[in-house]
Amino acid sequence: MRNIVANQVFNLAMTRKRRRSGKTVPKKSNAAGLTALALCFTRQLQLQAPPGAVVAGEPAGSPSAAAAAAAAANLLFSPVAVYAALALLAAGARGGTLQELLDALGGDSRDDLAAFARRAAERALADRSRSRSGGGPAVAFACGAWLDAAWALLPAFRDAAAASYNAEARAVDFGNEPVKAVGEINGCLAAATNNHIDSILDPSSVDTLTTLVLSSSIYFKGRWEAPFAKAHTVVDKFHRLDGSTADVPFMCSVRSQYIAIRNGYKVLKLPYRSPAPAPAPAPAPRRKGSTPSESKPGDGDDDPAPKYSMCVFLPDERDGLPGLVEKVASGPGFWHYRLPTSQVPVGDFRLPKFELSASGSVREALSDGMGIKSAFVAGEADLADMAAKRDEDADTAGTPLYVADVCHKAVIEVNEGGTVANGATASYMLCGASAVMDQPVKVDFVADHPFVFFVIEEVSRAIVFVGRVLDPSISG
């Protein structure tokens, strides 16, 4: 009897240990799904020609055209913006199509995806430029589902698009007037982003057989927590991968920076100005004779203000980008655990100004990298909760509803940080320096050759952007 009781106690202890150690079947994680999507896009930063790349004088898809495009193309993706568009698609999916989306995005249900996408929209994709104390980054985000007019959107899907995703969901006439349909989509996009992004599709991207297109677009411009002085910006050489150079403006500073020195590369973290936290609610008036309620530290601060940062991964060697991208894409936590945690004094510090605008299809990346396949195949896509055929007797009755493309456009501006370089003089003073004290070793960070970067929202760890800069003199 004693042995039986001892075994029961041992088994109970082991069960509790397994629960604590996470050995039980894990719950799907939306955050892990977003990180997987960011990793998928990070792999796209490898030096390969973007899909559909065209070079003047060369036929599209030719080896020389692909090589030339790969050598000069800056790339930019917004994982969190694409995640929102895919979660919108899941709101209308069923069966195997829905399961592929849940597996890829880390959700247990459509409601789970909707809740996570809504939180992401509120935290990482919301415009903070007009908030108190100068606000945070200016963000313009829009996504949509555009169906052919032969299909009627179901009310539940239309309501979910508006409520959970702040998204457009409407029918356009791909079947008869594809060019006009593209104009309507671009017009809606321009209106939704206050003309920060004026187009995402060109007429050649759709045809009369198109039934459904998803769109996702985002514009981002933030002010640095410690702006650079425009007076210290210098024009210098940026070394491209092919050995040529371009004259570009570099932001310079002698202010201490968040820099980590790693094996073969360095990492810089530049915090953006964050919006001020919401003021604590005023205490309710206390009735005579009542006892005051206890307040605990942190009350009213359960949802801290978003905090954005740009993290630049710079290889030591001018041609070291391919190996560095391979390292960064090696695992979901690589980029996060390599970030600097403290400031160091800098010696030669130069970071180029750049503005990236990248657009195109991400369908292939999602299919090959995330396992989202059936949604793109006619006859396999199950989107029955999104729309119904208007007229089953029409000539197009046999045309199934499936995703023809997922179009994505992202724009980011990186400059000194505004028209006023606040505190520029004070930031260049060495405080407390003494000839008899040991001076800290200064770290150089000279981004005069290709690098990759992330823009993250640190509280939620949402990856807002992943990108590569091969030539900052090219804005597209």
- pLDDT score of 129: 84
Does any domain span residue 257? no
For residue 289, is it within any domain? Answer: no
Q: pTM here?
A: 0.81
Residue in the block written with tokens 């973007």? 50
Please check whether residue 466 lies inside any domain of the structure: no
Model confidence at 285, in pLDDT bands (50, 70, 90)? low
Judged against a pLDDT cut of 90, whether residue 218 lies above it is answered with yes
**134 confidence band (pLDDT: 50, 70, 90):** low
| Residue 316 belongs to some domain of the structure | no
What are 320-366's pLDDT values in tens digits?
Answer: 999 999 999 888 777 778 899 999 999 999 999 999 999 999 999 99
- Answer whether residue 123 is part of any domain: yes
Q: Tell me if 266 is assigned to some domain.
A: no
pLDDT tens profile 158-195:
988 887 777 889 999 998 999 999 999 999 999 988 89
Q: What is the CATH number of the domain that holds 90?
A: 3.30.497.10
Whether 94 is in a domain gets the answer yes
- pLDDT, mean over the chain: 81
pLDDT of 428 higher than 50: no
The pLDDT value recorded for residue 66 is 47
Residue at 157 is within a domain: yes
36: domain range?
30-51+70-223+357-413
Domains of the chain: total: 1
pLDDT digits (tens, 9 = 90+) for 72-95: 589 999 999 999 999 999 999 999
CA–CA gap between residue 230 and residue 419 (Å, rounded): 8
